[in-house]
């Protein structure tokens, strides 16, 4: 099964099931290790943001990317 096949299957799901797939996808993204360019891009976004709330979220993401998930250091 290809990614295109999976995407077609997801689009055919009811909205509630799509929400579960989206949550799963976000969790996978959150847990995977960042490449060096991805980490540097995240740090740059943190440095350049003017939004306090976004800065907090980005700071948490930078710390987690560097040290690992909270409670697993």
pLDDT digits (tens, 9 = 90+) for 8-66: 999 999 999 999 999 988 887 777 788 889 899 999 999 999 999 999 999 988 888 88
pLDDT at 69 over 80: no
Q: Are 25 and 40 within one domain?
A: no
Check residue 35 and give its pLDDT: 85
> How far apart, in whole angstroms, are the C-alpha atoms of residue 38 and residue 32?
11
Q: Are 19 and 1 within one domain?
A: yes
Q: Are 47 and 63 within one domain?
A: yes
Check residue 14 and give its pLDDT: 95
Contact 58, 34 (CB under 8 A): no
Structure tokens at 33: 């290790």
Q: How many structural domains is the chain composed of?
A: 2
Check residue 73 and give its pLDDT: 47
Q: Are 43 and 55 within one domain?
A: yes
Structure tokens at 30: 């959150």
Check residue 66 and give its pLDDT: 83
Per-residue pLDDT averaged across 65-70, rounded?
Answer: 76
Q: Are 53 and 73 within one domain?
A: yes
Task: Determine the straight-line distance between the first and last CA of the chain, rounded to whole angstroms.
Answer: 37
Structural domain boundaries, residue 22:
1-32
DSSP 28: H
């Amino acid at each position: 099964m290809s990614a295109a096949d999976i995407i077609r299957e997801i689009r055919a799901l009811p909205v509630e099931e799509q929400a579960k797939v989206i949550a799963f996808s976000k969790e996978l993204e959150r847990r995977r290790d960042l490449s060096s360019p991805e980490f540097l891009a995240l740090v740059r976004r943190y440095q350049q943001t003017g939004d306090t709330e976004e800065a907090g979220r980005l700071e948490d993401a930078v710390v987690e990317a560097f040290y690992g998930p909270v409670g697993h250091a």
